[in-house]
Structure 1
Amino acid sequence: MRLMIPFQCGDDQLAGTLDTGDAETGIFVVSGGNEIRAGAFGGQAAMAAHFATLGYPVFRFDRRGIGESEGVNAGFENSADDIAAALIAFRNAAPHVKRIIAFGNCDAASALALYHHSLPIDALILANPWVIETAAGDPEQPAVPNADAIRARYWARLKNPRSLIDLLTGKIDLRKLAGGLASAARKQPASGLAVRLANALARSEIPTSLLIARHDTTAMAFMGAWHSDAFKGVQTRQSVKLEQFDTASHSFADAASRRWLFGQIESRCQIMSLQPTR
């Protein structure tokens, strides 16, 4: 059963949805970007329905200024109060839940990583965390192209036999190609956001799963940061596990990657269900 759960965040009323289940482990879903709680192409609504059939209650919500929620959309870096209010609403609507696994994709993953320390969350599942700095005054526009994503894109293109034909027939501008390769060769330091994310995960006390769509641009940018010095402390933590799947779908929208994603979440739910409550 799916229930509408309105709740307050400051002076604003936010819209939440609970897919009911009897399990003591619940799934808390935070939407990425400026998406409504259904997520990309209704994927998060489908996720909630799937796990509810397995008995896990699932709570989703629209942060302020998004979808059916009141208020001003201040972006993911100012969403800590929204997340905290939604967690309280989840607890009130499903008081039998003893453990909460929080899931977020893209900047929702980054928001959860940054702010989970003070929240009643027992495990994190972070998909394709956003680590690209944005231009001042425009939260949707990256400040600079990410070198790691550029390198991966050029490598994929150069491996394509069709690109060799285009090169030989003059369809590819050699000057632009050379400039692109030069940009890709430049090593960028981890962004300020990536460093903050690494610091937050390095001091995390709960199990964290990083789920990466191997050929997604956002994920490739994260993997560039993951292999930088900033994340060395995170890589050595036993509580942090990174898994990759061979897809370019940022939201794991195709059938194969969705099965993989759901399998990863279900595995974490089963593990957490065996743990004592905090």
Structure 2
Amino acid sequence: MTRSFHQISCEGETLAATLDSGDSPTSLMIVSGGNEIRSGAHGGMAQLALRISAHGFPVLRYDRRGIGDSSGENRDFLSSAEEIAAATRFFRQQQPQIGKIIAFGNCDAATALALYGPDAGLDGYMLANPWVIEQSSEPENEEPTISSAAIRSRYWDRIRNPRTIIDLLSGKIDLRKLLRGLKQAAKVKENSALSIRLRDALVNIDGNSRILLAKRDTTARAFLAAWNSSDFASLRDSTDITLETLDSASHSFADATAKDWLVGKLLEALRSA
């Protein structure tokens, strides 16, 4: 098992990439979310790659254009189709024994993979906490708009916790803020345009996909609210898409239990591909 560093050509720019070797014909490509570099928060993705490659599976990670060591302009996840395609081509060239590439992404990287992975020629998807939250349409408000259903889920968890009553009586919880949150939770909102776009992409993916949720994470709650809505009924009935949850609030699966759970799910997918 070796780790090597590479540059991938992408529309006149170069993507910095890291390849952990393996002799398996099934491989894993990790796509970073947000503006995170390929090593991940606190080196989490680098550690993940090592653990997966130790089982014989090659693992490729790369920095999106304008991120980390890659050149070019950072144009966010909705403009990352070319990076995904370029990385997929490079991976097959570097590892000629590869038959299938399973892609893993967290947050907006999961959404990007669902949107652009099929055209890149990927063979399977592990989508963690997919991003379906859109920015508010109001120019003075740059905060993302979270669905009422996701807010209700969060507040329901708090209300069920006996500690909440103690904190409320002791003044640790701002009653006015709590009431504002409950008022927002009572509103009925439609699913975001991004969530509908993601649904349509998932419907058209040819092959098995797994959705992994840290179910107490805000991003996961927002996705789960969309998933449980009538708009996603056809996906819930699909045999090609499975949804699995971990009772965790760790968006990046950072604690030891969450890390082990994620590694286990990725190895399951790679071995069954």
**TM-score normalised by L of structure 1:** 0.92
Residues 126-182 of structure 1: CA distance to partner in whole angstroms, max 9, x if unpaired? 0000000124699xx544233233222222222333321333345544443322212
1:57 is the counterpart of 2:58: yes
CA contact (8 A) 2:28 2:57 kept: yes
Aligned partner of 1:77 in structure 2 is 78
> For residues 103 and 170 of structure 1, what CA distance do their matches in structure 2 show?
43
Percent of aligned pairs sharing the same letter = 48
> For residues 180 and 55 of structure 2, what CA distance do their matches in structure 1 show?
52
CA contact (8 A) 2:146 2:222 kept: no
> For residues 168 and 255 of structure 1, what CA distance do their matches in structure 2 show?
34
Alignment of 1:65-214 (within 5 A): 65-135=66-136, 141-170=142-171, 172-214=173-215
> For residues 233 and 41 of structure 1, what CA distance do their matches in structure 2 show?
38
Unaligned runs of 5+ residues in structure 1 are: 273-278
> For residues 137 and 178 of structure 1, what CA distance do their matches in structure 2 show?
23
Residues 5-29 of structure 1: CA distance to partner in whole angstroms, max 9, x if unpaired? 1111111111011100000001011
State the 1:76 CA deviation: 0.1
SS class of match (2:145): coil
> For residues 172 and 105 of structure 1, what CA distance do their matches in structure 2 show?
31
**Greater shift after overlay, 172-181 or 75-84?**
172-181
> For residues 143 and 34 of structure 1, what CA distance do their matches in structure 2 show?
16
CA contact (8 A) 1:5 1:89 kept: no
**Greater shift after overlay, 150-159 or 45-54?**
150-159
Unaligned runs of 5+ residues in structure 2 are: none
SS class of match (2:96): coil
SS class of match (1:67): coil
**TM-score normalised by L of structure 2:** 0.94
Aligned partner of 1:233 in structure 2 is 234
> For residues 147 and 11 of structure 1, what CA distance do their matches in structure 2 show?
43
Alignment of 1:41-56 (within 5 A): 41-56=42-57
Q: Which runs of 4+ in 1 moved over 6 A?
A: none
SS class of match (1:27): strand
The residue identity in structure 1 corresponding to 2:183 is: A
Residues 43-67 of structure 1: CA distance to partner in whole angstroms, max 9, x if unpaired? 1101111111110000000010000
SS class of match (2:29): strand
Counting matched residue pairs gives 271
**Shift in CA distance, 167/237, structure 1 to aligned 2, threshold 3 Å:** same
**Greater shift after overlay, 165-174 or 75-84?**
165-174
SS class of match (1:64): coil
The residue identity in structure 2 corresponding to 1:78 is: S
Aligned partner of 1:28 in structure 2 is 29
Residues 239-278 of structure 1: CA distance to partner in whole angstroms, max 9, x if unpaired? 1000001111011111111111111110111111xxxxxx
State the 1:2 CA deviation: 0.5
Aligned partner of 1:276 in structure 2 is none
> For residues 16 and 178 of structure 1, what CA distance do their matches in structure 2 show?
48
CA contact (8 A) 2:85 2:117 kept: no
**Shift in CA distance, 104/137, structure 1 to aligned 2, threshold 3 Å:** farther
The residue identity in structure 1 corresponding to 2:206 is: E
CA contact (8 A) 1:14 1:69 kept: yes
**Shift in CA distance, 166/227, structure 1 to aligned 2, threshold 3 Å:** same
**Shift in CA distance, 171/109, structure 1 to aligned 2, threshold 3 Å:** closer
> For residues 122 and 143 of structure 2, what CA distance do their matches in structure 1 show?
30
CA contact (8 A) 1:91 1:97 kept: yes
The residue identity in structure 2 corresponding to 1:82 is: E
State the 1:116 CA deviation: 1.8
